[in-house]
Amino acid sequence: MGEEQEAHVSSSTEYIHAAVTLVETNSYSIFTQKMKKEIVHEQPHVKKALTAFIFFSVQVRPEVVAKNPDMKFGDVGKQVGILWKALTEEQKKPYHEMARVDKKRYLDDKEMEERLIKHSEVKVS
């Protein structure tokens, strides 16, 4: 094992294979932080809930870009923020409702994920 294990691996499949090999051979100390992070990000996860502003931004951003094609990315974001702040609470209501529904979806998915993890854990002695 040794230095051959630390060689650069090019794909996530190779990362996972390297991780399994290292864990199985008790060579876990060779397993680098980068490799651990890559594997964690490869695992499926519950998509976080979107905010009311994000729902608004997704709808309005293309319109702002269409009206101002030369505007920089950051400036588009600032303009969307200005438009959001200009809305009344009544105008923001549909976006808050979308955010509420998405938050419920997130909490339900998170609960399901936790149940699946709890039931799929294998105790190693």
Structure tokens, 12: 């996530």
What is the CA 109 to chain-centroid distance, rounded?
14
Are 71 and 79 in contact by the 8 Å Cβ rule? The answer is yes
Q: What is the mean pLDDT of the chain?
A: 76
pLDDT in tens, 38-86: 555 555 678 899 999 999 999 999 999 999 999 999 999 999 999 999 9
Q: What are phi and psi of 98, to 5 degrees?
A: -60, -40
pLDDT in tens, 75-114: 999 999 999 999 999 999 999 999 999 999 999 988 888 8
Kindly compute the dihedral angle of the four CA atoms of residues 56, 62, 65, 69, in this order, to the nearest 10 degrees. 180
| DSSP result, 26-55 | T-GGGS-HHHHHHHHHHS--PPPPPPHHHH
